[in-house]
């Protein structure tokens, strides 16, 4: 046994050497093939049969060996092959190669018998091999079955009519029925053709089976392309068979990964066949359908294979009776919904009413240009082929449109009721005038033009939004407040940053500058302060009539501003100053206005004044939080608010209660004494007060008093009564008092002289130089009169 194995190895090695020889030079093929044949015959060992069948298959497939040589070699080989096959051979490897070889040999032998009808043995052997293969096709093991597909394809290829490239040179023509003479001794054309037709049906049956193996399907698909391409007589039959094949339909319950691989491969292969045909022949009569088929394949693949793969993690049992495969199928069978574009606004024509396409070119196409007989030729087959559901949908869509229009017309004011009722009646009147052509053909165009001329006729009319119900005052106030709230929201958000180049740009702008034109944070603050002060001036009822809980919008803005400043009074003191300046200016303007329009009889006209109230409130708001380091901010505030009143000085003086803030108090007062002459006396009084009340202030205050008011004791006596009532008064009552200040008691100054002493933040419309110092008595007089 060992020896025979060695012997076998040697023999195989020899054979391989021979093979290498012919691979190197195909001229040796006849010698080698004839020499090898006896070694690999039916009675030899399996290894040798395997090698031999493979070698022979390779030989007859090789492009290096000319087909005339193959033809000459074929008869001998056929005999051997037939013997092996009828052994009966059981080894799939050998069988596989024999079937492969048979596929290569068949056209050769066929061609040979056409040209040499006398040499019948070769054809006889070939036929025997063919019959044997076809008989055992279904029982062959898998790999052989695959090769059978290819063999059958070859047989069909040969036994159908192929193209005749050049009748003068028959040797160049493809081997097919077309080159078989009608009176051939052995070959009977009708029989061969019938056999081919039967084999083709058998080949295509793989697409109709309930569940096909992807291997067989792919093998079939991949060999059909050449048939479709070169055999037009059967091409359409094959294409139709493929187009009725949907791999996704073959998916069965357990979708294993290998099932997915199979489905995907069948889809892609079917697509590849279609694309291959379309590429070669884009004008193929079935091109449209093939394209549709490709699209549908893609779609179903996405649904079944991929969808399922992504949902692999989910439980496999169907939830609520709808598992993925079922759903996918439902989707696939639902007809495509047609898209109904909305009608254009305004009056519409009949053609617009019936137009469902959005293609502008298409809707502009004038059908009248076509002669009637052509239209007939187009329309009749079209109607025959129209998709039922599409048709239904379209009709439904038009009906809906028409009903909507009818309703709208019915709802139109009865200005032209007769016209709106029935537009059909209306048409004839206009036809003779507008269109000279016969009316019957022109229905659409006519109505279109009529509609253009008579907008009311089929008019939808422009839609006018009805007036909203008037807002109640509460609602208006609420909406106003929410608007203000949003502006504040924007201020606090980081979105609106103060303009970094602010100082510079302002200098450049100079007098040409406008308030709130830069759209940065400052601009919005300006807007808000003006909104609070000027906008509602004169609209508000007298402060006496204000009911509780119904604060006017301006007060709510003020309240919000107040809170906004207090949130960070050190950073926002600027805003406070700006705001208070606006308040004060507005108060002046109001008073002036009222004074001008005042009639003799009503003495008691009052103007709601806001400055005094809000300056004290703001001061009270942040005073508790001031500490000794805030000197600069506080002094800035005091120096830049437009008016210093006695209550203000009292508030400042109260700072001295806290030993730590004595310094702050005295320095602020000193600043006002030095640089704000109109308030000097008030401040000196306050200082004296501080000196008298708080011992800690004595050293500092004493020094100042010695400088500014040498005769301290006398003055102190005079100031006493005024200072008495202040501590007891709550800020609230005081402000009430000041708000109610009668107009008569409050002196009115000219607007020029009234301009506040502000600097950078000033954006008054009339920027004037700082006014001359006010008479000191003026602010002092206010609180005393009630």
Partner 1 sequence: MAYDPRLSSAGTATAPSPPPPPPPPPEAMGTTTPTTQPQPTSTPNEANNNMVAESESSSSSSYKLRFCTVCASNQNRSMEAHLRLSTASSPFPVISFGTGSLVRLPGPSITQPNVYNFNTTSYSQMYDELLSKDERLYRNNGLLNMLERNRNLKWGPERFQDWVPGQPRVEHVSKGDKGALGTEGGVVDVIITCEERCWDAVVDDLMNKGSPLNRPVHVFNVDIKDNHEEALVGGKAILDLANRLNEAASQERKTSGVDGWENGVGEARQNFDARVPDILAEWQEKWPHLPALWTLAWL
Kindly identify the residues of this chain, within the stretch 648-707, that bind partner 1 according to CB under 8 A: none
Query: Least separation, in Å, of the C-beta of 131 and partner 1?
Result: 19
147 binds partner 1 (CB under 8 A): yes
Residue 18 interacting with partner 1 (CB under 8 A): yes
437-476 residues near partner 1, rule: CB under 8 A: none
Told to check if 88 binds partner 1 by CB under 8 A, we report: no
Q: Is 10 among the residues that bind partner 1 (CB under 8 A)?
A: yes
Distances (CA, A) of 600 to 221, 544, 597, 603: 110, 22, 10, 7
Q: Which residue intervals of 342-499 are DSSP H helices?
A: 350-354, 360-364, 372-385, 388-411, 417-421, 423-434, 443-453, 473-492
Q: What's the closest the beta carbon of residue 233 comes to partner 1, in angstroms?
A: 18
Task: State in angstroms the smallest separation of the CB of 132 from partner 1.
Answer: 17
- CB closer to partner 1, 120 vs 298: 298
Q: Binding of partner 1 at residue 42 (CB under 8 A)?
A: no
Neighbouring-strand partners of residue 444:
none
List C-alpha distances in Å: 533 to 543, 548, 552: 14, 20, 12
- Sole binder of partner 1 in the list 176, 250, 269, 393 (CB under 8 A): 269
Q: Residue 606, SS3? A: strand
Residue (12 or 186) nearer to partner 1, CB: 12
CB of 311 to partner 1, least distance (A): 15
> Least CB distance from residue 219 to partner 1, whole Å?
5
The interface region with partner 1, picked from 165-173, 261-269, 337-345, 468-476 by CB under 8 A, is 261-269
Nearer to partner 1, 50 or 636 (CB): 50
Sign of CA dihedral 413, 418, 421, 424: negative
Nearer to partner 1, 268 or 534 (CB): 268
Only segment of 214-222, 285-293, 509-517, 624-632 that touches partner 1 (CB under 8 A): 214-222
31 vs 493 by CB, closer to partner 1: 31
Closest CA to 188 of 137, 237, 123: 123
- Judged by beta carbon, residue 310 or residue 327, the one nearer partner 1 is 310
CA distance 218 to 210: 16
Q: For the chain, what is the radius of gyration of the CA atoms?
A: 53
Beta bridge partners of 742: 606
Least distance in Å: CB of 92 to partner 1? 5
Which tokens go with 545?
Answer: 């009539």
| Listed ranges 148-156, 160-168, 573-581, 755-763: which one lies at the site for partner 1 (CB under 8 A) | 148-156
Closest to partner 1 by CB, 243 or 609: 243
Show the tokens assigned to 227. Answer: 């048939």
262 makes contact with partner 1 (CB under 8 A): yes
Cis peptide, bond prior to residue 44, ω within 30 of zero? no
Binder to partner 1 among 81, 133, 223, 353 (CB under 8 A)?
A: 223
284 counts as binding partner 1 under rule CB under 8 A: no
268 binds partner 1 (CB under 8 A): yes
Supply the DSSP symbol for 601. S
CB of 198 to partner 1, least distance (A): 21
Task: Establish if 87 lies at the interface with partner 1 (CB under 8 A).
Answer: no
Measured CA to CA, the distance from residue 76 to residue 35 in angstroms comes to 11
Report in angstroms how near the CB of residue 40 gets to partner 1 at its nearest: 10
Shortest CB 240 distance to partner 1, Å = 19
* Interface with partner 1 (CB under 8 A), residue from 128, 134, 178, 272: 272
Q: Determine the Cα–Cα distance for residues 497 and 495; give it in Å rounded to an integer.
A: 6
DSSP string, 75-131: HHHHHHHHHHHTTT---HHHHHHHHHHHHHHHHHHHHHHHH-TT-HHHHHHHHHHHH
> Total residues contacting partner 1 (rule CB under 8 A)?
75
The verdict on 100 binding partner 1 (CB under 8 A) reads yes
DSSP percent split of the chain into helix, strand, coil, nearest 5: 70, 0, 30
Q: Write down the least CB distance from residue 18 to partner 1, Å.
A: 6
Nearer to partner 1, 14 or 786 (CB): 14
Alpha-carbon distances, residue 629 vs 512, 634, 635 (angstroms):
38, 10, 11
**Which residue from 213, 307, 520, 696 is in contact with partner 1, where contact means CB under 8 A?**
213
Per CB under 8 A, which region of 100-108, 573-581, 585-593, 644-652 contacts partner 1? 100-108
Map the footprint of partner 1 across residues 489-528, applying CB under 8 A. Answer: none
**Bridge partner list, 606:** 742
Residues in the chain: 786
Quick one: CA torsion of 586, 590, 596, 599, rounded to 10 degrees?
A: -170
Contact pick of 31, 68, 191, 493 for partner 1 (by CB under 8 A): 31
Among 26, 397, 487, 535, binds partner 1 (CB under 8 A): 26
CB atoms within 10 A of CB 227: 21
Residue 35 in contact with partner 1, rule: CB under 8 A: yes
Q: Which of 90, 360, 599, 711 binds partner 1 (CB under 8 A)?
A: 90
The interface region with partner 1, picked from 141-149, 293-301, 347-355, 642-650 by CB under 8 A, is: 141-149
> Which residue lies nearer to partner 1 by CB, 313 or 384?
313
What angle (nearest 5°) sits at the alpha carbon of residue 82, between those of residues 80 and 88?
110
- By CB under 8 A, residue 225 contacts partner 1: yes
Pick the closest to residue 514 from 200, 767, 723 (CA basis): 767
**Chain centroid to CA 617: how far?**
53
Task: Give me the DSSP letters along 637-668.
Answer: HHHHSS---HHHHHHHHHGGGSGGGHHHHHHH
Q: How far is the CB of 325 from partner 1 (least distance, A)?
A: 18
Residue nearer to partner 1 on the CB measure, 14 or 392: 14
DSSP designation for 515 = T
**Binding partner 1 by CB under 8 A: which of 257, 436, 624, 769?**
257
Q: Of these, 14, 121, 292, 759, which contacts partner 1 (CB under 8 A)?
A: 14
**According to the binding rule CB under 8 A, does residue 191 interact with partner 1?**
no
Q: Which of 214, 247, 347, 647 binds partner 1 (CB under 8 A)?
A: 214
Q: Which of 196, 86, 77 is nearest to 132 (CA)?
A: 86
Positions 323 through 352 that interact with partner 1 (CB under 8 A): none
Q: 30 Cβ partners below 8 Å, 6+ apart? A: 69, 72, 73
Is there binding between residue 189 and partner 1 (CB under 8 A)? no
Encode 224-251 in three state secondary structure. HHHHHHHCHHHHHHHHHHHHCCCHHHHC
Which position among 120, 194, 226, 509 is part of the footprint of partner 1 (CB under 8 A)?
Answer: 226
Of 121-129, 259-267, 316-324, 466-474, the window that binds partner 1 (rule: CB under 8 A) is: 259-267
- Minimum Å gap between C-beta 102 and partner 1 is 9
- How far CA 261 is from CA of 125, 242, 267, 310, in Å, comes to 41, 19, 10, 14
Q: Is there a contact between 162 and 174 (Cβ–Cβ < 8 Å)?
A: yes
273 lies in the binding site for partner 1 (CB under 8 A)? yes
Query: Smallest distance, Å, CB 397 to partner 1?
Result: 40
Q: How far is the CB of 166 from partner 1 (least distance, A)?
A: 19
Pick between residue 202 and residue 636 the one whose CB is nearest to partner 1.
202
Burial state string for 322-359 with b = 16 or more CB within 10 A and e = fewer than 16: ebbbeebbeeeeeeeebeeeeeeeebbbbebbebbeee
Task: From 162-170, 220-228, 567-575, 677-685, give the range in contact with partner 1 by CB under 8 A.
Answer: 220-228
36 near partner 1, judged by CB under 8 A:
yes
């Amino acid at each position: 046994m060992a020896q025979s194995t060695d012997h076998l190895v040697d023999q195989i090695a020899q054979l391989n050497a021979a093979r290498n020889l012919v691979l190197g030079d195909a001229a040796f093929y006849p010698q080698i093939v004839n020499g090898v044949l006896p070694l690999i015959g039916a009675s030899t060992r399996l290894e040798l049969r395997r090698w031999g069948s493979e070698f022979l298959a390779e030989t007859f497939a090789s492009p290096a060996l000319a087909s005339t040589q193959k033809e000459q070699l074929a008869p001998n080989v056929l005999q051997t092959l037939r013997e092996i096959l009828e052994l009966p051979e059981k080894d799939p490897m050998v069988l596989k190669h024999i079937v492969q070889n048979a596929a290569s040999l068949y056209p050769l032998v066929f061609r040979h018998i056409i040209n040499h009808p006398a040499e019948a043995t070769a054809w006889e052997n070939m036929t025997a091999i063919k019959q044997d293969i076809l008989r055992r096709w279904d029982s062959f093991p898998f790999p052989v079955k695959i090769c059978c597909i290819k063999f059958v394809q070859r047989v069909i290829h040969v036994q159908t009519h192929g193209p005749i490239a050049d009748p003068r040179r028959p040797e160049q023509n493809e081997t097919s029925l077309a080159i078989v003479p009608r009176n051939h001794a052995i070959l009977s054309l009708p029989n061969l053709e019938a056999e081919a037709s039967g084999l083709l049906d058998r080949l295509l049956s793989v697409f109709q089976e309930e569940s096909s193996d992807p291997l067989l399907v792919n093998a079939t698909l991949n060999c059909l392309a050449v048939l479709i391409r070169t055999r037009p007589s059967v091409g359409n039959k094959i294409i139709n068979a493929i187009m009725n094949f949907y791999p996704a339909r073959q998916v069965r319950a357990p979708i294993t990964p290998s099932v997915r691989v199979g489905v995907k491969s069948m889809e892609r292969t079917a697509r590849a066949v279609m694309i291959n045909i379309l590429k070669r022949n884009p004008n193929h009569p079935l091109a449209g359908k093939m394209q549709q088929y490709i699209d549908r394949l893609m779609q179903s693949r996405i649904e079944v294979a991929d969808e399922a793969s992504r949902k692999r993690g989910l439980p496999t049992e169907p939830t609520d009776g709808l598992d993925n495969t079922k759903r996918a199928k439902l989707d696939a069978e639902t007809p495509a919904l047609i898209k109904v574009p909305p009608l254009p606004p305004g009056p519409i024509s009949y053609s617009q009413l019936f137009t469902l396409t959005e293609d502008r070119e298409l809707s502009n196409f004038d059908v009248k240009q076509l002669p009637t007989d052509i239209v007939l030729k187009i329309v009749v087959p079209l109607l025959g082929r129209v998709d039922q559901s599409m048709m239904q949908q379209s009709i439904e869509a038009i009906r809906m449109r028409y009903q909507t229009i009818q309703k709208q017309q019915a709802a139109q004011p009865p200005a032209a009721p007769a016209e709106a009722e029935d537009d059909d009646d209306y048409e004839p009147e206009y036809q003779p005038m507008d269109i000279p052509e016969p009316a019957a053909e022109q229905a659409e165009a006519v109505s279109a033009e009529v509609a253009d001329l008579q907008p009311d006729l089929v008019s939808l009319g422009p839609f006018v939004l009805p007036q909203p119900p008037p807002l109640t005052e509460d609602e208006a106030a609420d909406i106003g407040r929410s608007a203000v709230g949003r502006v504040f929201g924007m201020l606090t958000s980081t979105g609106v940053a103060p303009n970094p180049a602010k100082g510079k740009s302002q200098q450049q702008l100079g007098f040409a500058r406008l308030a709130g034109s830069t759209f940065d944070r400052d601009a919005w603050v300006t807007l808000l302060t003006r909104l609070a002060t000027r906008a509602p001036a004169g609209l508000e009822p007298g402060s006496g009539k204000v009911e509780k809980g119904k604060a006017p919008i301006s007060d709510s803005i003020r309240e919000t501003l107040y809170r906004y400043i207090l949130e960070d009074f050190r950073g926002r003191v600027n805003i406070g100053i700006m705001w208070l300046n606006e308040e004060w200016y507005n108060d002046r303007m109001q008073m002036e206005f009222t004074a001008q329009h005042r009639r003799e009889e009503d003495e008691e006209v009052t103007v709601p004044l806001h400055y005094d109230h809000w300056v004290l409130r703001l001061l009270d708001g942040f005073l508790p939080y001031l500490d000794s380091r805030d000197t600069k901010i506080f002094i800035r505030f005091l120096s830049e608010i437009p008016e210093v009143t006695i209550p203000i000085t009292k508030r400042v003086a109260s700072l001295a209660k806290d030993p730590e803030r004595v310094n702050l108090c005295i320095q602020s007062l000193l600043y006002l004494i030095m640089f704000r002459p109109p308030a000097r006396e008030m401040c000196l009084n306050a200082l004296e007060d501080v000196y008298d009340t708080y011992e800690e202030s004595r050293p500092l205050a004493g020094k100042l008093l010695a400088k500014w008011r040498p005769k301290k004791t006398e003055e102190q006596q005079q100031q006493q009564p005024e200072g008495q009532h202040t501590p007891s008064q709550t800020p609230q009552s005081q402000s009430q008092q000041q708000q109610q200040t009668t107009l008569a008691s409050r002196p009115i100054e000219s607007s020029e002289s009234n301009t506040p002493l502000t600097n950078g933040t000033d954006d008054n419309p009339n920027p004037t130089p700082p006014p001359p110092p006010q008479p000191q008595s003026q602010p002092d007089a206010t609180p005393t009169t009630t």
